Structure 1
């Protein structure tokens, strides 16, 4: 399986050979601000299963106060990846995928910080912090 994704302007493109079955919707304040939405949807990819196809020189990174690194396109601002020192995976912003996937989200995480104007009604498990904690 080959999954491709790109930024809004098309300057950056990537390929992932597999997304783990740990897709989640993150409601933490950093994800909400980075995506400009009620939550961010991420899928985990092992670094060995990910590569940039073009535009890597257009990537910009932001390192948050908690050490997480978020990558985005310097031209259009599209959110692309998220990495954490505590997890050996690359989290793909699923909205940047150019293809359909068969996996579905399994949980909402960091719901203690969710936007008060959004109600979670899809029946997925909700965790006030990370699902692993």
Structure 2
């Protein structure tokens, strides 16, 4: 299977060929900071191939000092991008960076001890298909 994706500005595009073995929602503090949200949604593909189709020169990486936490991003728009980890044996792909349909559902929540306090019972709050107006 080959999946395609891109960054927010579209300068970086990529293809991942392989199978996503795991899909985790990680609530660790590094993923919260890196995503700006309650968790990161990452796909893990052992032995998959990551190919930069366009914009490889705009891909930058960052490792949190003193940790193994690594993320790649577009240096133009800041969007997170897939990365090769474990000496090239593992592709880690932010699920939101994919343009291809993904039918796989998350396998588990990780690092729940670090879960944001406001990330509880979210299915019960109002939902809108677009930005709400003052009257909604």
TM category (shorter chain) comes to 0.7 to 0.9
Partner of 1:41: 41
Number of matched pairs: 122
What's 1:55 paired with? 55
CA contact (8 A) 2:18 2:47 kept: no
Q: What is the aligned partner in structure 1 of residue 4 from structure 2?
A: 4
Contact 1:7–1:96 (Cα < 8 Å) also in 2: yes
- Residue 106 (structure 1) shift: 0.6
Query: What is the TM-score with the length of structure 1 in the denominator?
Result: 0.81
Kept in 2, the 8 Å contact 1:67–1:84? The answer is no
Q: Which runs of 5+ in 2 are unaligned?
A: 124-136
- State how far apart, in whole Å, the 2-side matches of 1:101 and 1:113 are: 27
Structure 1 residues not aligned, in runs of 5+: 123-133
- Please give the alpha-carbon distance, in whole angstroms, between the structure 1 residues aligned to 2:100 and 2:44: 16
Distance 1:56 1:47 in 2: 20
- Which position in structure 1 is the counterpart of 2:103? 102
Residues 35-85 of structure 1 deviation map (CA, whole Å, 9 limit, x = unaligned): 111111011123542211111100111111213321000010001135554
TM-score scaled by structure 2? 0.79
Matched, 1:23 2:23: yes
**CA-atom RMSD, angstroms?**
2.2
Residues 87/54 of structure 1: CA separation in 2 closer, same or farther (3 Å cut):
closer
1:115 alignment partner in structure 2: 116
Instruction: State the structure with more CA Rg.
Output: 2
Q: Where in structure 1 do 4 or more consecutive aligned residues deviate above 6 Å?
A: none
